[in-house]
Amino acid sequence: MNIRTIRFDDKEYPEKLRKLYNPPKQLYCLGNISLLNNLSIAIIGCRNASQYGLKISKIFSDGISKRGITIVSGFAHGIDSEAHINSLNNSGKTIAVLGCGLDVIYPKENKGLYSQILKSGGLIVSEFPLGTKPLKENFPIRNRIVSGLADAIIVVEAKRRSGTMITVDCALEQGKDVYAVPGNIDSLNSEGTNDLIKNGAIPITNYLEIFT
């Protein structure tokens, strides 16, 4: 594995992360490190996404990647994977931020996606050293990098208590714009997004709205 270690004092270290109050001391990177400083949008949401959520993730990642904007997400099942996949399907660039070492593919079912990201000029990044297992406590730590690398965040689906909402909290602390897709009022997967809108997140029903 041709892993690059980028430390805080290195010139390649992304400026967006330097601004965090608790920036990672180093990043382990596989792939195109130039993406770290690209204009980027995070698309995030439920692991057990609904068909509605997967459809919206596809539509948004399709449209945004066609505009040359890098898609950032957390490589999880559901909304995250759909965003990565459709960015690549449109010859776009994507950054996957892991909650484990770069030599530990999690979830295992994403082995093909892992390879596709690297073959397509994307980037896989982690602050955890090789061999680090995907422990539950790693993912909230990972989430601040997902939001930190993004210039704005789109939440497609989210339960009220979820890792997605932790990423939103990180984004708000970082002063990022948070967009939320409204959903069915009787869907658990939309309780978080609907609450975000009620609490001041920007409602979004068309990806073009992020550019206005």
* pLDDT digits 0-9 by tens, 4-59: 999 999 999 999 999 998 999 999 999 999 999 999 999 999 999 999 999 999 99
Query: How many structural domains are present in the chain?
Result: 1
* pLDDT digits 0-9 by tens, 47-96: 999 999 999 999 999 999 999 999 999 999 999 999 999 999 999 999 99
Say which residues have a Cβ less than 8 Å from residue 17's Cβ, sequence separation at least 6: 23, 24, 27, 145, 148, 149
Q: Which domain holds residue 175?
A: 4-211
Which CATH number is 73's domain given?
3.40.50.450
Distances (CA, A) of 119 to 32, 37, 71, 116: 10, 20, 16, 5
- Distance, in Å, from the CA atom of 193 to the CA atom of 48, rounded to the nearest integer, reads 15
| pLDDT on residue 161 | 86
Q: Quick check: 123 pLDDT over 80?
A: yes
pTM for this entry: 0.96
Q: How confident is the model at residue 163 (pLDDT cuts 50, 70, 90)?
A: confident
Q: How confident is the model at residue 128 (pLDDT cuts 50, 70, 90)?
A: very high
Listed residue (13, 42, 37, 39) closest to 147, CA to CA? 42
DSSP percent split of the chain into helix, strand, coil, nearest 5: 40, 15, 40
